[in-house]
Amino acid sequence: MMPALMILSFLIGSIPTGLLIARTKGIDLRKVGSGNIGATNVLRAVGKEAALFTLIGDIAKGALPVAIGKFFGLGIFDAGILGISSILGHNFSLFLKFKGGKGVATSIGVLLAFSPHVALLTITIWLLTARWTRYSSLSALIAFGLLPLSIYMLDYSKEKMIIAVVITCLIFVRHTANVKRLMQGTESKIGEKTGNRQ
């Protein structure tokens, strides 16, 4: 059962929510702004309403596989693996030739179903950092960089710590280019309009 559920989770994660929503407005997200398919680029390229729907959809993609795992009676570690499968689907979408987003909202969705208290702390850290810096990427790096500590403080188990560390690593790997832009001072801020990609 587990391999089938992992494949299903990857397929759920692969659904390019932001790309589909932006396409209803005649916009190809891959050709505007940062080129990313997540809610931040949807906000820049399409608007607040579309970004909100993208955020909800991407969060649901992470929460649903974990909930499915729990429904089938899987242990917390295996349910977490399904969540990671969904994040990988978002990051390397089957429908986008294995390209995709950064996995932030989908990771939040996984945490909401996996460890709700830790999810709320992670969201709070993200919101406070975003309010202060106006950088979505930096907010994600700080919030998820602290994720293992949040797990240790609020909901520790060996299994949950392993899942948390993997999620943190995936976030950092997908934000490598953002880190370079942050260091160069060229990273776009939240809500900042950007033109078409060249």
Confidence at residue 34, expressed as pLDDT on a 0 to 100 scale = 77
Q: C-alpha distances in angstroms, 19 versus 50, 79, 108, 156?
A: 10, 27, 19, 36
Confidence at residue 10, expressed as pLDDT on a 0 to 100 scale = 98
Asked whether residue 192 is domain-assigned, the answer is no
Query: d(Cα 65, Cα 74) in Å, to the nearest integer?
Result: 11
Confidence at residue 197, expressed as pLDDT on a 0 to 100 scale = 46
- Using the predicted structure, report yes or no on whether residue 192 has a pLDDT greater than 60: yes
Asked whether residue 196 is domain-assigned, the answer is no
Query: d(Cα 129, Cα 171) in Å, to the nearest integer?
Result: 16
Q: Which amino acid is at 122?
A: T
Query: d(Cα 186, Cα 65) in Å, to the nearest integer?
Result: 36
Contact 35, 29 (CB under 8 A): yes
Percent of the chain with pLDDT over 70: 96
Asked whether residue 19 is domain-assigned, the answer is yes
Domain count, the chain: 1
Tokens of 179: 């880190």
Q: pTM for the complete prediction?
A: 0.93
Confidence at residue 164, expressed as pLDDT on a 0 to 100 scale = 98
Asked whether residue 198 is domain-assigned, the answer is no
Q: What is the mean pLDDT of residues 56-73?
A: 97
Asked whether residue 34 is domain-assigned, the answer is yes
Asked whether residue 9 is domain-assigned, the answer is yes
Give pLDDT tens digits for 122-177. 999 999 999 999 999 999 999 999 999 999 999 999 999 999 999 999 999 999 99
Asked whether residue 194 is domain-assigned, the answer is no
Asked whether residue 86 is domain-assigned, the answer is yes
Least confidently predicted of 31-35, 58-62, 65-69, 89-93: 31-35
Which residue matches tokens 């293992």?
148
Confidence at residue 166, expressed as pLDDT on a 0 to 100 scale = 98
- Using the predicted structure, report yes or no on whether residue 195 has a pLDDT greater than 90: no
Query: d(Cα 121, Cα 15) in Å, to the nearest integer?
Result: 27
- Using the predicted structure, report yes or no on whether residue 198 has a pLDDT greater than 70: no
Query: d(Cα 81, Cα 78) in Å, to the nearest integer?
Result: 5
Q: What is the mean pLDDT of residues 45-60?
A: 95
- The DSSP string of 64-97 is HHHHHHHHTT--HHHHHHHHHHHHHHHHTBGGGT
> 45, exposed or middle or buried, with CB in 10 Å at 0-12, 13-18, 19+?
buried
- What residues make up the domain containing 12? 2-184
- Using the predicted structure, report yes or no on whether residue 193 has a pLDDT greater than 80: no
Confidence at residue 153, expressed as pLDDT on a 0 to 100 scale = 97
